[in-house]
Amino acid sequence: METIPDTSGYMIAGFVVSFLTMGLYVLSIYLRNKNLNQDLETLLSLETEQTKKK
């Protein structure tokens, strides 16, 4: 009877890469979103100041 080869190490590596890549992408969206919101707040306050001065 033929035995099934043990390739579980490759399988684990595959799933780790998949979850890591998706996780990093989600993190990058979160961080970009956070930074853009900070920029937006700063720019809005600058715009308000400029309008007051005028």
Partner 1 sequence: MQSKPIALTILDIVSIIVLGIASYLALVFAPTEAVMGDVQRVFYFHIGTAWVGLVGFVLAAVSGIAYLITKDMRWDRFEVAAVEVSTMFFFITIVLGSIWARPAWNTWWTWDPRLTTAAVTELIYIAYFMLRQGIEDPDKRARFGAVYALLGGLSAPITFMVIRLFRTIHPVVIGNQSAEAQGGFSMTPDMRTAFFFALFAFTIIFIDMMWHRIRLGGLQEKVEQLKLNVSI
Angstrom CA distances, 25 to 5, 7, 40, 42, 50, stand at 33, 28, 22, 26, 37
Q: In the range 1-54, which residues lie near partner 1 by CB under 8 A?
A: 2, 4-8, 10-11, 13-15, 17-18, 21-22, 25-26, 29, 32-33, 36-37, 39-41, 43-44, 46-47, 50
Burial 35-44 (b: 16+ CB within 10 A, else e): eeeeeeeeee
State the residues that interact with partner 1 by CB under 8 A: 2, 4-8, 10-11, 13-15, 17-18, 21-22, 25-26, 29, 32-33, 36-37, 39-41, 43-44, 46-47, 50
